[in-house]
Structure 1
Amino acid sequence: MADKEDKNEENVGGTFYVDSQCIDCDLCRETAPNNFTRADDEGYSYVFKQPENDDEIEQCREAMEGCPVEAIGDDGNE
């Protein structure tokens, strides 16, 4: 389970985030490309834009559920 106290610093504020457990597998960036991107120098993903519509919310949730190391969190689902 993602730890909101261990969020990657690049995450924009809001509901979804990625924590330091990210292994840079690319699943979230493929699943929700409008919301997740890669910190190239650091080698992990983060949320660069919070979802703005139902499709993006669903894609972010799908990415969270598929994350192999549970590095994606949703503050709205605690």
Structure 2
Amino acid sequence: MADPNHKVPENVAGRYYVDDTCIDCELCRETAPENFIRWDAGRYSFVTLQPRNDEEEAACRAAMDECPVEAIGCDGEEVA
């Protein structure tokens, strides 16, 4: 399970995040391309946009459920 204490700093504020166990497999970027992006220098993904609608919410949830290393988390934190 993703660790909220190890979120990568590039994540935007909100419920979904990527932690430092990301292996850059591309699955989240393929599953939820509106919400995840790659940080090339660090070679990992991060949340660039929190879900804005039901479709994006479902895509983020699917990315989280399918992440092979469980690097995606959802902590219920509201956007500030």
Same fold (TM > 0.5): yes
Identity %, equivalent residues = 62
TM-score, L = length of structure 2: 0.94
Q: Residues 36-78 of structure 1: CA distance to partner in whole angstroms, max 9, x if unpaired?
A: 00000110000000000000000000000000000000012xx
The number of residues matched between the two structures is 76
Superposition pairs of residues 11-30 of structure 1, within 5 angstroms:
11-30=11-30
Q: Which has the higher helix share?
A: 1
**How far apart are the structure 1 equivalents of 2:34 and 2:75?**
19
Counterpart for residue 51 of structure 1: 51
TM-score, L = length of structure 1: 0.96
**Matching residue's letter, 1:60:** C
**How far apart are the structure 1 equivalents of 2:38 and 2:28?**
10
Gapped runs of 5+ residues in structure 2? none
CA apart distance, 1:11: 0.1
**RMSD over aligned Cα, in angstroms?**
0.4
**How far apart are the structure 2 equivalents of 1:68 and 1:2?**
11
CA apart distance, 1:32: 0.1
